[in-house]
Amino acid sequence: MNREAALMSIDHVDARRGSESLRRWRQTQYARRCRSQAWLLDRVGHGRQLTIGQLGALPRPARCGWPLTGVGIRLYEGRAFLHGAQHCASPWACPTCTVLIRGRRAQDLRHAVHWWRQTKDNHRLVFVTLTIPHSKSERLGALIDLAASSWSRMRGSHAWRRLADRTGIRHHVRSMEITWSPTSGWHAHLHVLLFTETMPDAKTLKKSIHVLWAEAVRALDPDRRPVSKRHGVTVEPVTDDGRLVAGYMNKTPDRRDIALEMTRGDRKQGRRKGSLNPFEFLDDGTGIDERTARALWCEYVDSTYRRRTITWSRRLRQDSGLAGMEPTDRQIIDDAIHGLPVINLDPPAYRMLRRSPSIIATALQLVEDGQVPLAETIIGQATTMDNPRS
């Protein structure tokens, strides 16, 4: 085999491996959505048929994927997706919408990061994590409120403005991340990406931010344990190519993409031992019993409803050349829903697909690989098996 042929066959193997892992990934997302919806419906209906009033009162992620009109598979920029169904546009609690929304936020942030690094040689980025001491029994909603309000209080203070002037902080982006662990319960923490004009001394910056953060948390919740001096605030420099180098003393550093680190809390898994990303409540084999997982998931869906995942400082989007206003979660979902109709689905076929994560994943994969007739055959056979009389 000559070199070119060898390279092509490597490409082919990579592409096959890539499409196989995409199929498996989709299957997981659709399986998670099925389970989330079963739990959310069951909470209201207790296994009985729901009334119209009950259906209307369901949280939006419970209705994601319900058919509107003319459901089918479409292809847009090489990616196949189900079209014609409701989208809940939840940036937190929907295994399918969250991915689309956060993917777009990551893209915007990557653009801003690149712009900042390109504009001047001295421009730097600093990644800050802000945490709050918490106990195992605390409710998630209260923790989210406290984290968000403490940040607003700190950022609005004169002391913060003075610090920003002194250290050359010109812009920031803030995001919230939520995890849970059996030993310490819910953990809602903030990531803040600072756009600075020069590289501030990390130790000094950490100390200064710690003073302000601890003060803001104390002002809002005087009875809480004080913010930890060691772990309450961390400050990490971002490399020139937009990455975080975890434990840079290590021989094999884990180089994390800053845009993903800021926006894709939904993707992280088992970073810290025993700590779960809330989507993992929907998976088998996490070691948590189903009743607990179900209660935690429902609490998560309720507590994150209508909360923002990410906020940008004024002018950053405009200055970096991102068009106008920040798109809402709903707009991102609506934008993602163009595409060429490829396969139309009748109601029984669509009902079968909604219940069968592995068949959806396979059908979408086949459409992307150009094997539309095979996708239709598989859908047709599975629908017949699902509805033997039709």
Residues that bind Zn ion (CB under 5 A): 64, 88, 94, 97
Task: Tell the smallest beta-carbon distance from residue 276 to Zn ion (Å).
Answer: 21
Q: Which is nearer to Zn ion, 88 or 259 (CB)?
A: 88
Q: Rounded to the nearest whole angstrom, what is the least distance from the CB of residue 96 to Zn ion in the complex?
A: 5
Q: Shortest distance, CB of residue 327 to Zn ion, whole angstroms?
A: 16
Q: Which is nearer to Zn ion, 88 or 113 (by Cβ)?
A: 88
Question: CB neighbours (10 Å) of residue 390?
Answer: 9
Nearer of residues 85 and 106 to Zn ion, judged by Cβ: 85
Q: How far is the CB of 102 from Zn ion (least distance, A)?
A: 12
**Shortest distance in whole angstroms from residue 30 CB to Zn ion:** 11
Judged by beta carbon, residue 280 or residue 329, the one nearer Zn ion is: 329
Nearest approach in angstroms of CB 296 to Zn ion is 19
CB nearer Zn ion, residue 95 or residue 232:
95
> Which lies closer to Zn ion via its Cβ, residue 40 or residue 194?
40
87 phi and psi angles, rounded to 5 deg: -125, 130
Q: Which is nearer to Zn ion, 73 or 94 (CB)?
A: 94
State in angstroms the smallest separation of the CB of 87 from Zn ion: 5
Nearer to Zn ion, 97 or 310 (CB): 97
Closer CB to Zn ion, 306 or 389, in the complex: 306
What is the Cα gyration radius of the chain? 23
The answer to whether the CB of 337 falls within 8 A of the CB of 82 is no
CB of residue 212 to Zn ion, shortest distance in Å? 37
Give min distance, CB of 10 to Zn ion, in A. Answer: 37
Decide whether 301 or 366 has the Cβ nearer to Zn ion: 301
The distance of closest approach from Cβ of residue 97 to Zn ion in the complex, given in angstroms and rounded to an integer, is: 3
Q: What is the layout of strands, in order, in the sheet containing 233-237?
A: 233-237, 124-130, 185-196, 169-181, 310-312
Distance of alpha carbon 1 from its chain centroid, rounded?
44
Distance CA 27, CA 35 (A): 12
Three-state secondary structure along the chain? CCHHHHHHHHHHHHHHHHHHHHHHHHHHHHHHHHHHHHHHHHHHHCCCCCCHHHHHCCCHHHHCCCEEEEEEEEEECCEEEEEEECCCCCCCCCCCHHHHHHHHHHHHHHHHHHHHHHHCCCCEEEEEEECCCCCCCCCHHHHHHHHHHHHHHHHCCHHHHHHHHHHCEEEEEEEEEEEEECCCEEEEEEEEEEEECCCCCHHHHHHHHHHHHHHHHHHHCCCCCCCCCCCCEEEEEECCCCEEEECCCCCCCEEEEHHHHHHCCCCCCCCCCCCECHHHHHCCCCCCCHHHHHHHHHHHHHHHCCCCCEEECCCHHHHCCCCCCCCCHHHHHHHCCCCEEEEECCHHHHHHHHHCHHHHHHHHHHHHCCCHHHHHHHHHHHHHHHCCCC
Looking at the DSSP assignment, which residues form a beta bridge with residue 257? 243
